[in-house]
Amino acid sequence: MIKAVLFDLDDTLYTSFDVLNARGCDAAGKWAEQTLGIPAAEFCAQAAASRRYYHTILHAEPESHDRVLQMQNVLEHFGVNPILYAQQLHEIYWETLMEGMELRPGTSELLDELRRLGIKTGVCTNMLIDKQMEKLRRLGLAERFDAFVASEEAGRDKPAPQIFSLCLEKCGCAPREAIMVGDHRDHDIGGALEAGLHGIWLNWRGRPHARYACPHYEAADMAGVRKCIFEILKKEGF
């Protein structure tokens, strides 16, 4: 019997992170050009390189997402004291990104419907706790979830099993009693299937079909996700 549905956050509950990330970098780059004389295009190119660098050396674990760390690296590259400006650039980036977030249509209605059915809902997301919680508040979803786990708390990013286990513990259910909904084929769905959960791949980009031995569901939007959830509920005898 299904007792909980877990949701990824970025590119699942809102879209599109890549677009908003670019906007945030552009805003930080313009500020750096106006204030520090660093050409905006060069700043943005170095910011992208810094993000790739830390994802590589920190193995894409929670601390690799820290934009203060990335801004420090960028400023040091241009010979600027990061203690003076890294935090401010970090805030400019995040404020711009969050201002552009748009809740995926059908999300609130689905969460409310699951609650009426007595099914718990949780957020199971990579990234740092403070910014992910702030995103949920700004999206108007802060009171619609029963559990929240960011990879910073779990100590490992998805697809590592720790983050799924912790979210399941908070929801009080076993893996086969939970469904994971997410946009990332490997991190969200691959990790969930390995951990024993049901998986619904929100393939809103229309990417090639997933290659998993374990059965999973696939949807293009939240209406499709809802349909998949109810197929699983029916199958599991809810």
Instruction: Render pLDDT for 147-195 as a digit per residue (tens, 0 to 9).
Output: 999 999 999 999 999 999 999 999 999 999 999 999 999 999 999 999 9
Query: Is 146 assigned a catalytic role?
Result: no
Where residue 59 falls among pLDDT bands split at 50, 70, 90? confident
Cα radius of gyration rounded to whole Å, the chain: 19
What mean pLDDT comes out for the span 112-124? 98
Contact call for residues 181 and 225 (beta carbons, < 8 A): yes
Q: What is the pLDDT of residue 229?
A: 98
Q: What is the pLDDT of residue 160?
A: 95
Per-residue pLDDT tens over the stretch 24-41:
999 999 999 999 999 999
Task: Identify the burial level of 140 via C-beta atoms within 10 angstroms of its C-beta, where 0-12 means exposed, 13-18 middle and 19 or more buried.
Answer: exposed
Least-confidence region, from 104-113, 120-129, 161-170, 210-219: 210-219
The DSSP annotation for the chain comes to ---EEEE--BTTTEE-HHHHHHHHHHHHHHHHHHHH---HHHHHHHHHHHHHHHHHHTTT-GGGG-HHHHHHHHHHHTT--HHHHHHHHHHHHHHHHHHT-EEPTTHHHHHHHHHHTT-EEEEEE-S-HHHHHHHHHHTT-TTS-SEEEEHHHHSS-TTSHHHHHHHHHHHT--GGGEEEEES-IIIIIIHHHHTT-EEEEE-TT-PPPP--SS--EEESSHHHHHHHHHHHHHHTT-
Where residue 116 falls among pLDDT bands split at 50, 70, 90? very high
CB atoms near residue 78 (< 10 Å): 15
Catalytic residue among 8, 157, 183, 188: 8
What mean pLDDT comes out for the span 99-121? 98
Name the residue with higher pLDDT: 211 or 200.
200
Query: Is 18 assigned a catalytic role?
Result: no
User: pTM for the whole thing?
Assistant: 0.95
Q: Phi first, then psi: what are they for 180, rounded to 5°?
A: -110, 130
Residue 77 has pLDDT above 80, yes or no: yes
Closest-CA residue to 178 (of 128, 130, 114, 127): 114
Where residue 215 falls among pLDDT bands split at 50, 70, 90? low
d(CA 80, CA 45): 16
d(CA 146, CA 190): 23
Residue 237 has pLDDT above 90, yes or no: no
Residue 211 has pLDDT above 80, yes or no: no
Contact call for residues 7 and 122 (beta carbons, < 8 A): yes
Residue 16: is the preceding peptide bond cis (ω within 30°)?
A: yes
